Structure 1
Amino acid sequence: MNKFICFILIIISLSSCSEYQKALKSEDLALKSKTANDLYEKGKYTKALRLYEQIIPAYRGKPQAERLFYMFSKSYYNTKQYYLAGYQFESFASSYPKSEKREEAAFLGAECFYRLSPRYSLDQIDTEKALSKLQKFIDTYPDSEYLPKANEYVKELREKLEKKAFEIAKQYYTISDHRLEYNAALKALDNFISDYPGTPFKEEALFLKFSTAYKLAINSVEYKKEDRLNLAKTMYNSFIKFNAESQFKPKADTMLATIDKELQQFSK
């Protein structure tokens, strides 16, 4: 019985392949369209795509075009060809403003750019583009059923940009070992805190800012040392004010003790 079932399945598979090959070579648009749609419904999106690519130009402006264009776009999406899918979904939403699929196409088009966003350590041009597309969708469809997902994507992408910006600022701190580099690190950390006031990295950024000011003060020329020690102490207070129970507090307290000891020489 098992052998018989396998035999039947092989026959069906060969027949299906034969129909697909026949449609590929055929000049009959109706046959190509039907075969493509059948393959799409069966989840065979790669094969369906080859047929859609052949017939889509010929169907533009015809009544069947809207459905075919949507399935064509969705096939790119389902095969994870997100650049092409994003472009096609945007084109669909623009070409069929009254379509019941327009809102979904607009969302999926924006989602494609979200999926193209790379990890934070790489260039974030696609992340910026994804944020722009998602924000446009949110503004256009404020009551959409896809709104929660769109907002979730926006939050994730913004956090990725924050992580990227923080790592850049942190790198200034990591490589700093003389006065000019300390000042560059302070500026980078200042800019980060200013640009992302609600960032989850604020605590560490404030600690790094204090630590940089500490290094600058300790290694300062004598006539500037007192002012820089006091500035570092001010930054310590800002850090502690933000979170008095910070994981970085023990290190900060050790540095503060050194600052206070250094300041004693100026009070004599």
Structure 2
Amino acid sequence: MFLKTRLYGCLLLASLALASCSEYQKVLKDTDINRKYELAERLYQEGSYKKANRLLEQIAPQFVGKPQGERVMFFLADSYFQKGDYNFAGYQFERFLKSYPKSDKAPEAAFLGAKSYYMLSPRYSLDQTDTDKALNKLQVFINAYPESEFMEEANAMAQELTRKKQKKAFEIARQFVKLGKYYTLDYNISAIAALDNFISDHPGSVYREEAYFLRLRAASTLAENSTPSKKKERLDNAVAAYNAFMRYYAESEFAEDARQLYADLQEEITEFEAIQTLSK
């Protein structure tokens, strides 16, 4: 008896699914935009976003300026988002906000538009154009809707994207430092410039401590391998880099290595001064 009941249930579900599919195919080919609108809304509410999206794409131009136009445009944008087509979602949410800036759905549209670009943001080592777009959109949302229910998530996404951009900038500078071990002049000069910019541009970064240390290492390597005409200036700069590091991070995990670099610098300074004295 139980097996028969279960079988009847499965058959009923299958027949309902076939009927629903048949209805969708008929309405998809129908010319009645009201039928399309009703089915699209029902499918959207049921979570059938791909099917809803196809219908909404068909009818959206015909609802421009009509009472249902606002709902259609929001459903269309969100159906793109829900099915993972974030490029189109971002574009459609922008269109919605331009068309209906005072809509009750405007805060959600602004948030989801920003989140669309957040979802497109690649890993830190790749081009960060979409990351920049997402950060800009998130900042606009945060400024415009500070009391929104989405504020906590928006702030969390903005922080994550900011860290990603910081990591990219930091890794570029760190790569210069690595190359500076083998190509001492050009790459160490580039490393120092990149690290100076990073420290200036990202005062609250989690990579700031290591950036100060790497600047000391690059400055030390540059000074130790400089020509006599530039050696004193670069030794002084390296000592200044050490003092800056120790001023902020005397208890750092890099402190011991920093002290060793400083000791090596002192030897270089002593040797350089001795040579200068003999040459007079």
**TM-score range, shorter-chain basis?**
over 0.9
Q: Show the counterpart of 1:261.
A: 267
Aligned mates of 2:226, 2:107 — CA distance in 1? 61
Number of equivalent positions: 268
Matched residue, 2:195: 189
Instruction: Report the AA paired with residue 188 of structure 1.
Output: A
The residue type equivalent to 2:191 in the other structure is A
The 1:226/1:93 distance shift into structure 2, 3 A limit, reads: closer
Moved more, 176-185 or 196-205: 176-185
State whether residues 85 and 112 of structure 1, in contact with CA within 8 Å, keep that contact through their aligned partners in structure 2.
Answer: yes
Structure 1 distance, partners of 2:87, 2:259, is 51
Contact 1:66 1:96 in 2 (8 A): yes
Q: Deviations over 1:66-123 (max 9, x none)?
A: 2122111111111011111111112112212332112211221122112211111111
Indicate yes or no: 2:38 matched with 1:42.
Answer: no
What amino acid maps onto 1:127 in structure 2?
T
1:117 alignment partner, one of 92, 109, 121: 121
Structure 2 match to 1:210: 216
Partner of 1:200: 206
Query: Aligned ranges for residues 1-80 of structure 1 at < 5 Å?
Result: 1-80=5-84
Query: Which residue of structure 1 aligns with residue 142 of structure 2?
Result: 138
Residue 170 of structure 2 is aligned to residue 166 of structure 1: yes
1:154 aligns with 2:158: yes
Choose from 236, 254, 279 the match for 1:248: 254
SS of the residue corresponding to residue 61 of structure 1 reads coil
Q: Which piece of structure 1 moves more, 24-33 or 43-52?
A: 24-33
Q: Which amino acid aligns with 1:205?
A: A
Q: Which amino acid letter does the alignment assign opposite residue 104 of structure 2?
A: E
Task: Provide, for residues 227-254 of structure 1, a one-character-per-residue CA deviation record: whole Å limited to 9, x for no partner.
Answer: 4333312211211111112111222222
1:98 to 2:102 alignment: yes
- C-alpha distance in 2 between matches for 1:260 and 1:106: 57
**Matched residue type, 1:150:** A
Q: Any unmatched runs of 5+ in structure 1? A: none
Q: Deviations over 1:181-223 (max 9, x none)?
A: 2222211111111111221111111111111111112212245
Distance in structure 1 (CA, Å) of the matches to 2:243 and 2:252: 12
Aligned residues of 1:93 and 1:103 also touching (Cα < 8 A):
no
Which of 78, 82, 86 aligns to 2:86? It is: 82
**For the residues of structure 2 that align with 1:263 and 1:227, how far apart are their CA atoms?**
11
Distance across 2 between alignment mates of 1:106 and 1:185: 39
d(CA) in 1 for partners of 2:102 and 2:263? 69
Identity in percent: 48
Contact 1:217 1:225 in 2 (8 A): yes
**In 2, distance between residues paired with 1:196 and 1:98?**
36
- Tell me the TM-score normalized by structure 2: 0.90
Q: Which moved more, 1:217-226 or 1:241-250?
A: 217-226
Q: CA deviation at 1:261?
A: 2.3
Report what 2:130 is aligned to.
126
